[in-house]
Amino acid sequence: MFKPLREIRVLDLTNVLAGPFCCHQLAHMGADVIKVEVPGSGDLARQLGADPELNEKLMGVSFLAQNPGKRSLTLNLKSAAGRAVLHRLVQSADVLVENFRPGVMDRLGVGYEALRKINPRLVYCAISGFGQDGPLHDLPAYDQIIQGMSGVMSVTGAPENAPYRVGYPISDTVGGITAAFAIASALADASREEGCFIDVSMLEATLATMGWAVSNYLVAGREPQPMGNDNVTASPSGTFRTADGLINIAANKQEQFEAVCRVLGVPALIDDPRFAKRQARLQHRAALTALLEEALAHRTTEQWWTLLNEAGVPCGPVYRVPEVLAHPQIRERGMIGTFDRVPGVGKAVSLLRTGVKINRQAPAVEMPPPALGEHTDEILAELGYSAGEIERMHEERAV
């Protein structure tokens, strides 16, 4: 399997989601990711998830999801011996990722300026809610805070219930992907002679994904509005009721609208002045939706999906999570990886991989998510510490 980052070592000093998700991507691309965690408790995500027993074991589902392929080293950065270990690690590393509040790493004496003296080629990535400077830089931020402040919530939901939070931590996830892209870009610079400091703001990363909606305001002066499941640029384009559920239809072109009318058996709508042209359909969206749903009520979602696709109309069912995970399109492309044995879990665990294929293969990692500190002694030995030195560090609670 092609592993483009196979010679790269990443130090993952992150917690919960944005940072771990970033390093999750890098691990699947072959990087040696060493997760540096606080002794005793580790990543907070170890205590989060739908299985209380796993949370008690510090192997929470939230942790399992983003940490396969990593090795876990516990390190007390408040101790001199712990900082010395990190310094030695940095000498062998290519990348360090952290998502502490701005200034925390500097106060510990292990910020970018200190570490670049140890390894001038280090790519140092700091992920935070608002970035390393600006009036809000020192405020704590979680996904929901960023969703609200970025404008995402203002355009999510329908007019009667917005603002609404997106149903999963989209700002954390986007922040992690943005960081992974920036890190990979820095590593790809073949002429690079020194490292760099990457400052990822979750607020800005989230806002960047709203370019289409935001540009309507910046350029045309139109403030984005919540529209539920309707597409702001086209009609009929959204979610429609069928005989047994819902179907998404995206008839964004004139020929697709006409195909919908023919397939649904309502060809008269093609020449109806209310719907004949794109702008007219937007103005009379509600009336058009009502007429189309009246026709859609005569067949199931599955039946309409087949008929509309055959006519060249983009459409698809609205799945629940178990349904999409069970679908052959996901199963056959290797999106789900399974680990038969996971330390501290006691059962097989299936997890999502990345959404990319390289040479027709889904990147995968060999190691399951690690138990807290599982690889501490192994990594310390790799760094050249003797058995006696390792024992003393345990006694001093440096690791």
Q: Which CATH number does the domain housing residue 255 bear?
A: 3.30.1540.10
192 — pLDDT class (breaks 50, 70, 90): confident
Q: Which of 318, 351, 374 is the last residue of a domain?
A: 318
226 — pLDDT class (breaks 50, 70, 90): very high
Report the Cα 244 to chain-centroid distance in Å: 32
Please state the rounded mean pLDDT for residues 279-302: 97
List the structure tokens of 30: 């072959």
Are 26 and 149 part of one and the same domain? yes
Please state the rounded mean pLDDT for residues 244-259: 96
pLDDT score of 322: 96
345-387 residue pLDDT tens: 989 999 999 999 999 999 999 999 999 999 999 999 999 999 9
Residue 259 has pLDDT above 90, yes or no: yes
Are 194 and 297 part of one and the same domain? no
Are 314 and 356 part of one and the same domain? no
pLDDT score of 36: 98
Q: Which of 277, 295, 318 is the last residue of a domain?
A: 318
Structural domains of the chain, count:
2
Residue 111 has pLDDT above 90, yes or no: yes
Are 244 and 197 part of one and the same domain? no
Are 171 and 88 part of one and the same domain? yes
Are 129 and 69 part of one and the same domain? yes
Q: Are 172 and 18 in contact (CB under 8 A)?
A: yes
Are 200 and 246 part of one and the same domain? no
Please, what is the average pLDDT of the chain?
Answer: 96
CA dist., res. 161 & res. 258, Å (int):
32
Are 151 and 25 part of one and the same domain? yes
Residue 191 has pLDDT above 90, yes or no: no
Q: What are phi and psi of 42, to 5 degrees?
A: 70, -160
193 — pLDDT class (breaks 50, 70, 90): confident
Domain assignment of residue 323, yes or no? no
Are 119 and 186 part of one and the same domain? yes
pLDDT score of 98: 98
Domain assignment of residue 33, yes or no? yes
Q: Which CATH number does the domain housing residue 67 bear?
A: 3.40.50.10540
Of the residues 12, 32, 43, 172, which is catalytic? Answer: 172
pTM of the model: 0.93
Catalytic site includes residue 133: no
pLDDT score of 38: 97
Are 109 and 136 part of one and the same domain? yes
**Residue 222: DSSP 8-state:** P
Are 140 and 253 part of one and the same domain? no
Please state the rounded mean pLDDT for residues 334-341: 94
369-380 residue pLDDT tens: 999 999 999 999
Q: Which of 297, 318, 339 is the last residue of a domain?
A: 318
Domain assignment of residue 217, yes or no? no
DSSP 133-197: SSTTTTS---HHHHHHHHTTGGGSS-TTT-S---SS-HHHHHHHHHHHHHHHHHHT-TT--S-EE
Domain assignment of residue 221, yes or no? no
Please state the rounded mean pLDDT for residues 290-302: 98
Domain assignment of residue 226, yes or no? no
Domain assignment of residue 166, yes or no? yes
Closest among 155, 205, 211 to 180, alpha carbons compared: 205
Percent of the chain at pLDDT above 70? 100
1 — pLDDT class (breaks 50, 70, 90): confident
List the structure tokens of 377: 């002694």
Q: In what order do the strands lie in the sheet with 32-37?
A: 70-74, 32-37, 9-13, 95-98, 123-128, 196-201
Q: Are 315 and 250 in contact (CB under 8 A)?
A: yes
206-218 residue pLDDT tens: 999 999 899 999 9
Domain that holds residue 272: 237-318
Are 281 and 165 part of one and the same domain? no
List the structure tokens of 99: 């998502």
CB-based burial of residue 180 (10 Å sphere; 0-12 exposed, 13-18 middle, 19+ buried)?
A: buried
pLDDT score of 190: 84
Please state the rounded mean pLDDT for residues 108-112: 95
Please state the rounded mean pLDDT for residues 43-56: 96
Domain assignment of residue 178, yes or no? yes
Q: How far is CA 180 from each of CA 51, 234, 366, rounded to the nearest angstrom?
A: 29, 34, 20
